[in-house]
Amino acid sequence: MNWQALINEIELLDPYKRFGKVTRVIGLMIEAKGPESSIGDVCYIHIGHKKKKKIQAEVVGFRDEYVLLMPYAAVQDIAPGCIVEATGAPLDIKVGSALVGRVIDALGAPLDDRPLPKGLTAVPIDRQPPNPMTRPPISEPIEVGVKMIDSLLTVGKGQRIGIFAGSGVGKSTLMGMIARNTNADLNVIALIGERGREVREFIERDLGPEGLERSIVVVATSDQPALMRIKGAYTATAIAEYFRDQGLNVMFMMDSVTRVAMAQREVGLAVGEPPTTKGYTPSVFAILPKLLERTGTNEHGTITAFYTVLVDGDDMNEPIADTVRGILDGHFVLERQLANKGQYPAINVLKSVSRVMNYIVTPEHRKMAEKLRELLATYVQSEDLIQIGAYKRGSSREIDEAIRYYPKIISFLKQDVHESYTINESVQQLFQLIEQG
């Protein structure tokens, strides 16, 4: 036994507990005199003599000699004079393979009325992104089971994609299809800021039993404090990182990164940050790259990530959408106009891009995908003339060809929710479409 190492551990232990007292509560913020602590540390606020309970809170800032805390729960029972106990450590959660198939909250507690399994490992939820020099390049495709994506917007193992859409255009349905059909080893799904009703609907309808049995779902609903919604994103990312370090190819999905940004805005405004672009505080634009860069490849495994971005009024250039698009390795744009026509998934191929596709597909595949895009773009550019009958056949060979192909292209782009295709089947159908016309 290494006695010296044990002695060193004992010497590092702090035998003292540090306490403070709540002085006031302002909105979301709790102000306390003491205890000695650092940003990100978890503290316990002891509630009253009768209830004998304690709630967790996190240190988010300082004002003069006062510590600013935000709770992980409601603040109704907190009163001036409540004792604040410092733990001296940030939040961590318990992770392991026994967690697969479970639904947990932002703090890692089970939501499915079953106790957590034994043998889990404690991991911190806030980690630094991998060293860019240790990230292997993305070199092979990952199958997502959605024909349009696998053939025209091929995703690589370790790629990070944004799904940009307004409300009710089919983001959750698309995520469920990917989770059920992908050939990744494991799904980690974060539902951040969702309505409580939608959580169970997503798990039972979109994800389904076959999807849940190979997934871990992290839930932080819209009624929970802002800090819980932020921690939900960090917790899900930490779980994905744990399995990536085991050498697995993880499929990670977060719905939605916009609500994480909104929660961070609430925290920022509460601690006194100035509102800047559209009311978002500077800390929002600081945490987004730090959070999103944690996924991707490392020397052990991969995390292929899909982040949904809610766009107000279908405005693709609003601040969060613009920032996220600049960080990620591609974006899929879901359009309400296509959904209204009954085209599902409602991805606009011409406005969507996978930035690594050209490096992970064969030259023949790339050539066929470019040909389909060219035909579709030609038709869309002339659609108004064609619809009103102003275009005369024979005027343009390119437009005539696009008109001939268009019905088959639309049929190819559509896919029923319960249909599944391998990546080889998707590419083969693309080849048949272009070659046979």
pTM for this model (two decimals) = 0.90
The reply to whether 327 and 187 lie within a common domain is yes
pLDDT of 396 over the 90 cut: no
Q: Do 176 and 134 touch, CB atoms closer than 8 A?
A: no
Give domain status of residue 9, yes or no.
no
- How much is the pLDDT for 12? 64
Binned at pLDDT 50, 70 and 90, residue 99 comes out as very high
The reply to whether 285 and 415 lie within a common domain is no
- CATH code of residue 427: 1.20.1270.330
Give domain status of residue 7, yes or no.
no
Three-state DSSP at 124 gives strand
Strand locations in 28-139, DSSP E? Answer: 29-33, 41-47, 53-63, 66-71, 83-90, 92-95, 103-105, 121-124
Stretch (H or E) spanning 319? helix 319-327
- How much is the pLDDT for 18? 77
The reply to whether 154 and 201 lie within a common domain is yes
The reply to whether 58 and 187 lie within a common domain is no
Cα 27 from Cα 49, distance rounded (Å): 24
Domain boundary among 42, 75, 90: 90
pLDDT of 117 over the 80 cut: yes
The reply to whether 352 and 392 lie within a common domain is no
The reply to whether 151 and 286 lie within a common domain is yes
- How much is the pLDDT for 264? 93
Q: Can you give the length of the chain in residues?
A: 437
- How much is the pLDDT for 184? 92
Binned at pLDDT 50, 70 and 90, residue 389 comes out as confident
Domain boundary among 309, 331, 359: 359
Mean pLDDT computed over 97-112: 91
Residue-averaged pLDDT of the chain = 88
Kindly list the distances between the CA atom of residue 83 and the CA atoms of 48, 58, 76, 359, in Å, as whole numbers in the listed order.
Answer: 9, 14, 15, 58
Domain count, the chain: 3
The reply to whether 72 and 118 lie within a common domain is no
Domain boundary among 68, 90, 112: 90
Give domain status of residue 331, yes or no.
yes
Three-state DSSP at 344 gives coil
Strands 83-90 and 19-26, by their bridges, are antiparallel
Q: Do 333 and 165 touch, CB atoms closer than 8 A?
A: yes
The reply to whether 234 and 304 lie within a common domain is yes
The reply to whether 212 and 250 lie within a common domain is yes
Structure tokens at 319: 């601040």
Measured N-to-C along each axis, helices 397-413 and 423-436 cross at an angle, to the nearest 10 degrees, of 150
Give domain status of residue 6, yes or no.
no
Give domain status of residue 80, yes or no.
yes
The reply to whether 46 and 73 lie within a common domain is yes
Cα 257 from Cα 241, distance rounded (Å): 18
Mean pLDDT computed over 260-264: 94
Domain interval for residue 81: 16-90
The reply to whether 244 and 380 lie within a common domain is no
Cα 129 from Cα 173, distance rounded (Å): 30
